[in-house]
Amino acid sequence: MSDVDMHPASGSDSAAGSRSSADAAVAVPLPAASTAPVPTAPVADAAVRLGVPLRWAPPALSPVLLERPFTGPAAPVTHLGSVDVILEVIDDARSGDVLVIDNGGRPDESCIGDLIVAEAAHAGIAGIVLWGLHRDTAELRRIGLPVHSLGALPAGPRRVPPAGSAMRVASIDGVLLHGGEIVVADDDGVLFLPADRADEVLAEARRIQAVESRQAELMRGGRSLREQLDFAAYRAAQRADPALTLRAYLAARGAAVET
């Protein structure tokens, strides 16, 4: 519902008695700060609303386990053909970090399996984003650490890795990710937020989520979304002014819809 969720417009001086029923329907308190993962949909809406650059992993990257959302600072690494560089990053990571592995999207090898995923879980890693393939799928599901990857392949790397220290950066289909940038992932996909704006975006996303949850609650109670949006009155006004949009109609009454 995030394309139509509505909230009171900031700075509105409309009297309470003149507000439409749609305004009253979404007069919900702001949610308290939370460390729980925020769904990617309201995060995307919040970023657009705040003018924050939004980057994402391609839709081909999918979760091995459903309903395992996670959010945390990126701990990126470029895979060079051996697990030693991945273990280095896990060793240096903080609890709650997200391990982001760049294997170039290669279709000819898997670069992590059950041992690396179990080790990441032991280190307190919140989740793994892999631009490449994994293996040991059944074991990964048993371990329970959320992993987003391009799929599974039984064959591991057969190339000889170059010597050198771990490259602490990852390119996810051309999206360059540095350490500390924020990763937000769920069943809809993976988003990347700049570290200096992430708190602002996540706070706005929680507010959007609270509005949507209230709308859904009202719908379960029998109050349609059109009723909440005062849609019949909007259609009547639109007949008089065909150029009128729902966004402009609601804004004139002290409310707005999200992008």
Pure H helices in 123-197: 137-143
Please indicate if the annotation marks 86 as binding a ligand: no
For residue 235, how many other CB atoms are within 10 A of its CB? Answer: 13
114 known ligand binder: yes
Indicate the DSSP class of residue 98. E
Torsion of CA 109, 115, 120, 126, to 10 degrees: 70
CA distances from 155 to 89, 100, 103 (A): 23, 21, 14
For 96, the token pair is 């709650």
Flag whether 182 is marked binding: no
Residue 56, helix vs strand vs coil: strand
Query: Do the annotations mark residue 136 as ligand-binding?
Result: yes
Q: First vs last Cα of the chain: how many Å apart?
A: 11
Q: In which element (H, E) is residue 198 found?
A: helix 198-220
Flag whether 113 is marked binding.
yes
5 is in an annotated binding site: no
* Sequence ranges of the binding site for Mg(2+): 136
Binding residues for substrate: 113-116, 135
Binding site listing: 113-116, 135-136
